[in-house]
Structure 1
C-alpha cells in the first residue's frame, strides 16, 4: 500500500510538472490526430498560449484541425514538409496561423508524430516570429534604400564620365544592356544581374585619370598613350575597392580586360581566375566597342564584332559567355542600338 501511495504521488507530481511545462511554454503547442488517409484530424489538446494567441477556447479548438488555421493554398514547400512529417516522423517549416479575429500570425512550426495510447498523433510547436519578420522587413527596406542610393551615385558617376568623353557617351549603358541580356540567358540570379548592370555603368571609371585629349584623339594613338589607357581598370579598382558594395563590382570592373589565355591586362589573369561577371562584361565591352564609332576609327559593325568573339571563343573569351551572347543577338526582340 505504501509503494502504491508513493507511485501515485510520483504520478501526480509528474502530471503537474507536465501541465506546468505544457501551459507555461512561450510557444503555441497543439496535439492533433492523424486520421485515415494520413490526413490531419481535429486537435485533441492545446496549451494556454495557443488559446491566448489565436483567440479560440479549448472547446473551440477541439472542433478544428490544422487545415482550419493554416492557409488553404499552402505552397509546395509546406506540402513537402507535411509529406516529410508522414515519411520521417518530424518536420520544421514556416507558415501562418489564422486567429479567431481573422488575422494571420507568422509562425515557425516544429512537428513530430508519436503514438498516444495506441493512437497516431502529431505534436506541433509554433513559435510566433512576428517581431523577427518585422525586423527582416525593416532590414530589407533599409538595404533597398541603400542599394537605390548606390545606384544613384553610380549613374551620376557614369554621366560625369560621358560628359568628359563624348565619344563614348552611352557606351557604358549599351554594354550594360548586352551584359545583362547575356547574364539572363545564362540563368544568373537577379542579384548577380543587378551587380553586373551597375559594374557595366562605371566599368570605364578609371579613364577619368587619362587625359581627355588622348581619349578623344582622332587617328592612331602612340604606344605611350595606349599604356596610359591600359591603366584604367586598375585605377577604377583603386577607387571602387574602398566602397563596400553588396556585389563584387570592383573585381568585375578591374578584370574586364583580362582574357581567358592570360593575354589581357592589368594582371594577366586567365581561366577561372577571372570572375564570371568580368567574363560577361569583357565580351559585351568588345562587342559594343567594335560595333560603334570611335575617335580613331569608324564603326566596324556588328557582324565584324560577332566574328571577333566567335573566332576567339575559348581563347580570349569564355566559351559559355560567347554562346549566350550569340543566342541573345539572334533574338528578334533584341536590338543593340535601340
Structure 2
C-alpha cells in the first residue's frame, strides 16, 4: 500500500457478522482510516445513532438479523450523504442490481476482498463524498450570491430614482471595472466582489438632497462637501456586511487618488485596495463620457486625456493602460454608440 493516499481521521464503519473478518479489516485498514465495526445491521444503526454519520459504510450482504442491502437502504434514508458499499461472496447479477437500485450502492465488492482493493474502494468513496459536499456548498454560495446581487440591484434602483442622471451609471461602471480586472488577471472571486461593489458604489447618494444631485449650475464648496460625504455614507450602509468581499472599503475608497488628493481619507498608493483603484478608473471613465446635470458627455477622447494626465499620480497605471486599450478596441462606448 506504499504511496497510497490516507484518510486517517475519516470515520468508516465496517459491518459483518463474522468477528474474524472484522478483526482482519481492523488490522489491514488501521492507520489509513478511522475504522469502526459493527457485528450486524441493528448494531450498525445503533453505532451510527450514537457516533453520528459515517463518511463510508461497508456492509456484508448475508447477515442473520438484517441483510446488507436492507441495512444500506435504511442508511440511505437516515444518512443520505453517507457513501454505501456492499461486500459479499454472493456476487450474482440479481444481487448487484438489487443492491444498486434499493440501497443506492456506490460500490459492489466481492469476498474475499484484497486489503488494497477494499482500501482503494473506501478512498474512492471518501473522495466521492468530498466532491458531493463541495458541489452542494458551491450551489449554496451561488444562491446566496444571486440573492445578494438582487438586493444590491434594488439599492441601485433607489439611487437612480432620486438621481435620474446617474441611471445606469453604476451598472456601466461595474461593467468597465470587470473588464479591467479580468485583463489584469484578477481572481474570479475578487472580480465578483469588485462587480458587486461597483454596482452600489454611489449608494451613499441616498443621503444627498435631491436638489444638489440635480443642480444644473456649479456647486458651492459647502454643497460639494455634502456630496462628497456619499462615499462615507455608502461605506457605512455596508459596514459589517457578512460577505467575504471588502465591499464597504471599495465604496469608501472609490474617490481616493494615489497621491492622496482624493477623499474621504486622503489615502495614497498601496494604502488603496487594487479593486478600489480599478473602480476609481472605471467610475471616472463613465462620469466623463456620459451626460451629467451640468454638462453633456465629453466623449472617450476627453476620458483618455484625463486618465493619461493622472496616470501613476492619480490613477493606477496598469488600470489606466488597460482602460485605454479597451476604449481603443471599442469595448467601452459612449451612450448612444
Q: TM-score range by the shorter chain?
A: 0.5 to 0.7
1:126 and 2:126 equivalent? no
CA distance in 2, matches of 1:58, 1:267: 74
CA distance in 2, matches of 1:183, 1:190: 9
Change (3 A) 1:238 1:333: closer
How far apart are residue 143 of structure 1 and its match?
1.8
State the partner residue of 2:27: 21
State the partner residue of 2:328: 330
How far apart are residue 127 of structure 1 and its match?
5.5
State the partner residue of 1:136: 134
CA distance in 2, matches of 1:54, 1:242: 46
Which of 223, 226, 239 is the aligned partner of 2:221? Answer: 223
1:151 and 2:149 equivalent? yes
Secondary structure at the residue paired with 2:123?
strand
CA distance in 2, matches of 1:185, 1:154: 25
1:243 and 2:241 equivalent? yes
Q: Residue 288 of structure 2 contacts residue 302 of structure 2 at CA under 8 Å; is this kept in 1?
A: yes
How far apart are residue 170 of structure 1 and its match?
1.1
Q: Residue 234 of structure 1 contacts residue 266 of structure 1 at CA under 8 Å; is this kept in 2?
A: yes
State the partner residue of 1:4: none
CA distance in 1, matches of 2:144, 2:308: 39
Change (3 A) 1:21 1:49: farther
1:214 and 2:212 equivalent? yes
- 1:180-201 deviation per Cα after TM superposition (whole angstroms, max 9, x unaligned): 1111111112222211111111
1:204 and 2:209 equivalent? no
Q: Residue 300 of structure 2 contacts residue 327 of structure 2 at CA under 8 Å; is this kept in 1?
A: no
More deviation, 324-333/260-269 = 324-333
State the partner residue of 1:295: 293
CA RMSD of aligned residues (A): 3.6
1:261 and 2:267 equivalent? no
Q: Residue 178 of structure 1 contacts residue 336 of structure 1 at CA under 8 Å; is this kept in 2?
A: no
Change (3 A) 1:331 1:56: farther
How far apart are residue 136 of structure 1 and its match?
3.0
Q: Residue 290 of structure 2 contacts residue 334 of structure 2 at CA under 8 Å; is this kept in 1?
A: no
CA distance in 2, matches of 1:280, 1:252: 10
How far apart are residue 253 of structure 1 and its match?
0.8
How far apart are residue 54 of structure 1 and its match?
6.1
Q: State the TM-score, normalized to the length of structure 1.
A: 0.66
CA distance in 2, matches of 1:19, 1:299: 76
Q: Residue 252 of structure 1 contacts residue 278 of structure 1 at CA under 8 Å; is this kept in 2?
A: yes
In structure 2, the gaps of 5 or more residues are 1-21, 36-56, 62-83, 92-98, 108-118
- Determine which structure has the larger strand proportion and give its number: 1
State the partner residue of 1:40: none
How far apart are residue 222 of structure 1 and its match?
0.4
Q: Residue 219 of structure 1 contacts residue 297 of structure 1 at CA under 8 Å; is this kept in 2?
A: no
More deviation, 269-278/133-142 = 133-142
- 1:201-243 deviation per Cα after TM superposition (whole angstroms, max 9, x unaligned): 1100111111110110001110100111111111111110132
Aligned 1:13-52 pairs, distance under 5 A:
20-22=26-28
Change (3 A) 1:312 1:23: closer
State the partner residue of 2:17: none
- Aligned length, in residue pairs: 256
CA distance in 2, matches of 1:284, 1:23: 58
Q: Residue 300 of structure 2 contacts residue 333 of structure 2 at CA under 8 Å; is this kept in 1?
A: no
CA distance in 2, matches of 1:19, 1:171: 66
CA distance in 2, matches of 1:320, 1:105: 51
